[in-house]
């Protein structure tokens, strides 16, 4: 499966080199190459001018501008293989920085440091650490931005050589010395199992004659060999791999084999790189850089250097997740509440409209109900005169002792009343019965009045003098009886209710101010 094309670019002082390739599974297929001399009148210290020129050359050669890996020469960086007394990955960045501060020939505080682990034991971790001055890195990044390149990675050309040798199989078993004479400087790397064990750079001008360049390679190889042999845990070199011009490499093979007493050969092909007809003899390290894995902590990348882990990041992340969840809950609640509010407002508007439609009918219903209640209350005022007469007859002594001469009744009723505050209807009325007659004596008339008072049905009062004036019986009397009950109903008498003549005096009243003697 093809991945998107990737570009490796090396911007030197005198030459621009670029390689465009595309991954096809594990195979890297080369699509375009570019080697162009930088004009002598171009200011190499001006990133904007360099970037503009690089952009024009890439455009002319048909290169895209995205997914770019930028190459840095070994001469610009400090590279060390460090043994750190820790296995905690959280401690490696800071310990690497402190160790590089002691090892670097330049100020480590003004440098960008990246590393990756290559071995680990119970007592510590071995890392390959690389530091580049920030000023040099900024210059390269500024040139890439001026060229409008989509910068994906910044790495060492030496790392590309290491990746090439790592995937050569048995040919590169053990420690291998890689000599890169493709660029503007010589680069020497001792590579052990695909990891850089030792590295150094030397000046190598392309203006040298062929013999001068061969002599320079032999001399610097001898220096590299001596420096490497003086380093700790230096392993025996088993093979020398040359990358560069075929004629020069052919002349060097025999002399290097004789000097180092190991086999020397030129890299002419690779099982994971398909040139597709392009001459990549001077671009092998760039092809190797595009073989670098995408995983972090397996190679050098100054665009994304390894940072000390933020121990509080997990807590901040949890807090952010909690805050985000809270915001989502609030937004969700607000959304549902807003939708519910809109529904309720619509329901309220509908009910209000229904109320406005039903209000006239509702008011008409109440008016009719009040009218009906008023009529029923009015018609409920019906005095049962016969019951009143029967009640009086039940209290009257035998005819030989008392005779009722006349009996008249009337009702005072003006209107039906309604108390809106208490929602109570009433129909107040006053029933008055005037009864007169004759008794055998004063005592008989008093007993009849006492019976009326004790019954508490009427408020009883005399309307005339109690005196001998009868025609049939000697003693005449006349009483006014008043009540608000349509039928005679006796009120319950309390245990302390008077039942003597004092009660008659209390409830009754003599209208003419006279009494029996």
pLDDT in tens for each of the 517 residues of the chain? Answer: 457 899 999 998 889 999 999 988 889 999 999 999 999 898 888 999 999 999 999 999 999 988 999 999 888 888 888 889 988 888 888 888 888 888 777 676 788 888 988 888 888 999 989 999 998 999 999 999 999 999 999 999 988 988 888 877 766 677 899 999 988 888 999 988 777 888 888 887 666 788 888 899 999 999 999 988 887 777 888 899 999 988 899 999 999 999 999 999 999 999 999 999 999 999 999 999 998 765 555 788 888 888 876 666 777 888 888 999 999 999 989 988 888 898 999 999 999 999 898 899 989 998 999 899 889 888 888 888 989 989 988 888 998 899 888 889 999 888 888 888 888 988 888 899 998 888 898 889 889 889 888 888 888 888 876 666 667 788 888 989 999 888 887 655 434 444 433 333 333 333 333 333 2
Query: Which pLDDT value is given to residue 52?
Result: 94
| Token output for 98 | 């402190």
Query: Which pLDDT value is given to residue 256?
Result: 92
With contact defined as beta carbons under 8 Å apart, do 263 and 257 qualify? yes
Query: Helix 134-146 and helix 47-60: axis angle, to 10°?
Result: 40
What is the edge-to-edge ordering of all strands in the sheet holding 15-24?
Answer: 151-156, 68-72, 6-11, 15-24, 27-37, 273-274
Instruction: Count the Cβ atoms, other than its own, within 10 Å of residue 324.
Output: 10
Query: Which pLDDT value is given to residue 511?
Result: 32
Nearest to 146 by CA among 67, 56, 281: 56
CA dist 396 to 10, 384, 402, 483, 501, Å? 141, 19, 7, 19, 17
240 has which bridge partners?
A: 177, 264
* 346: Cα within 13 Å, side-chain hemisphere: 6
d(CA 346, CA 350): 6
Query: Which pLDDT value is given to residue 102?
Result: 81
d(CA 364, CA 383): 33
| Token output for 468 | 């001998």
Residue with tokens 């009722």: 404
d(CA 346, CA 337): 14
d(CA 284, CA 194): 16
Instruction: Count the Cβ atoms, other than its own, within 10 Å of residue 353.
Output: 10
| Token output for 408 | 């008249």
Per DSSP, the three-state class of 481 is: strand
Distance of CA 261 to the CA centre of its chain: 68
- Domain locations in the chain? 6-309, 313-379, 385-507
d(CA 417, CA 454): 31
Rg (CA), the chain: 62
What pairing do the DSSP bridges indicate for beta strands 185-192 and 125-133?
A: unpaired
Q: What is the pTM of this model?
A: 0.60
For 301-324, the three-class secondary structure string (H helix, E strand, C coil) is CCCCCCCCCCCCHHHHHHHHHHHH
Sign, Cα dihedral of 165, 170, 175, 178: negative
CA dist 20 to 269, 275, 303, Å? 17, 10, 20
d(CA 461, CA 466): 12
d(CA 501, CA 499): 7
d(CA 397, CA 445): 9
* 41: Cα within 13 Å, side-chain hemisphere: 0
78 has which bridge partners?
A: 131
**CATH number, domain 6-309, options 3.60.40.10, 3.30.420.380, 3.90.550.10, 3.40.50.300:** 3.30.420.380
Query: Which pLDDT value is given to residue 171?
Result: 66
Nearest to 482 by CA among 417, 409, 428: 409
Query: Which pLDDT value is given to residue 377?
Result: 85
d(CA 216, CA 202): 9
| Token output for 156 | 């060492």
Nearest to 72 by CA among 134, 22, 127, 4: 134
Query: Which pLDDT value is given to residue 504?
Result: 33
With contact defined as beta carbons under 8 Å apart, do 431 and 411 qualify? yes
E strands, 273-369, where? 273-274
Q: For the CA atoms of 389, 391, 397, 399, what is the dihedral angle to 10 degrees?
A: 30
What pairing do the DSSP bridges indicate for beta strands 15-24 and 68-72?
A: unpaired
d(CA 361, CA 333): 41
């Amino acid at each position: 499966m093809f991945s998107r094309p990737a570009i490796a670019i090396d911007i030197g002082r005198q030459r621009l080199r670029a390689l465009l390739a595309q991954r096809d599974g594990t195979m890297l297929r080369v699509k375009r190459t570019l080697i162009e001399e930088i004009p002598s009148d171009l200011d190499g210290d001006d990133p904007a001018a360099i970037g503009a020129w690089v952009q024009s050359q890439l455009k002319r050669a048909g290169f895209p501008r995205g997914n770019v890996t930028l190459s840095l020469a070994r001469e610009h960086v400090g590279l060390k293989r460090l043994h750190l007394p820790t296995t905690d990955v959280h401690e490696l960045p800071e310990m690497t920085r402190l160790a590089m501060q002691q090892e670097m020939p330049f100020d480590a505080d003004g440098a960008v440091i990246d590393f990756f682990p290559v071995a680990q034991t119970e007592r510590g971790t071995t890392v390959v650490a690389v530091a580049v001055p920030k000023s040099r890195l900024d210059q390269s990044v500024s040139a890439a931005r001026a060229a409008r390149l989509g910068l994906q990675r910044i790495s060492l050309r030496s790392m590309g050589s290491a990746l090439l040798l790592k995937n050569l199989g048995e040919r590169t078993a053990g420690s291998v010395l890689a000599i890169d004479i493709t660029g503007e400087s010589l680069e020497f790397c001792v590579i052990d199992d695909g990891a850089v064990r030792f590295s150094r750079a030397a000046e190598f001008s392309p203006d040298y004659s062929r013999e001068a360049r061969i002599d320079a390679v032999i001399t610097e190889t001898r220096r590299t060999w001596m420096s490497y042999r003086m380093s700790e845990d230096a392993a025996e070199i088993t093979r020398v791999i040359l990358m560069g011009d075929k004629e020069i490499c052919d002349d060097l093979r025999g002399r290097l084999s004789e000097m180092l007493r190991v086999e020397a050969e030129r890299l002419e092909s690779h099982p994971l790189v398909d040139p597709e007809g392009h001459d990549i003899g001077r671009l092998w390290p760039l092809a190797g850089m595009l073989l670098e894995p995408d995983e972090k902590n397996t190679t050098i990348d100054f665009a994304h250097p390894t940072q000390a882990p933020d121990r509080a990041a997990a807590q901040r992340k949890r807090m952010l997740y909690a805050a985000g969840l809270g915001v989502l809950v609030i937004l969700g609640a607000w959304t549902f509440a807003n939708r519910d509010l809109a529904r309720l407002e619509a329901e309220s508007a509908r009910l209000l409209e229904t109320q406005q439609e039903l209000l006239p009918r509702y008011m008409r219903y109440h008016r009719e109900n009040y009218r009906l209640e008023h009529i029923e209350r009015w018609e409920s005022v019906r005095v049962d005169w016969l019951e009143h007469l029967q009640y009086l007859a039940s209290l009257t002594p035998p005819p030989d002792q008392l005779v009722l001469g006349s009996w008249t009744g009337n009702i005072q009723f003006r209107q039906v009343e309604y108390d809106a505050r208490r929602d109570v209807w009433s129909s107040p009325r006053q029933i008055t019965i005037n009864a007169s007659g004759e008794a055998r004596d004063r005592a008989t008339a008093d007993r009849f009045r006492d019976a009326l008072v004790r019954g508490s049905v009427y408020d009883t009062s005399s309307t005339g003098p109690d005196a001998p004036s009868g025609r049939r019986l000697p003693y005449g009397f006349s009483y006014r009886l008043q009540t608000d009950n349509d039928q005679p109903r006796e009120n319950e008498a309390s245990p302390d209710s008077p039942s003597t003549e004092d009660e008659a005096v209390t409830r009754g009243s003599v209208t003419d101010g006279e009494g029996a003697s």
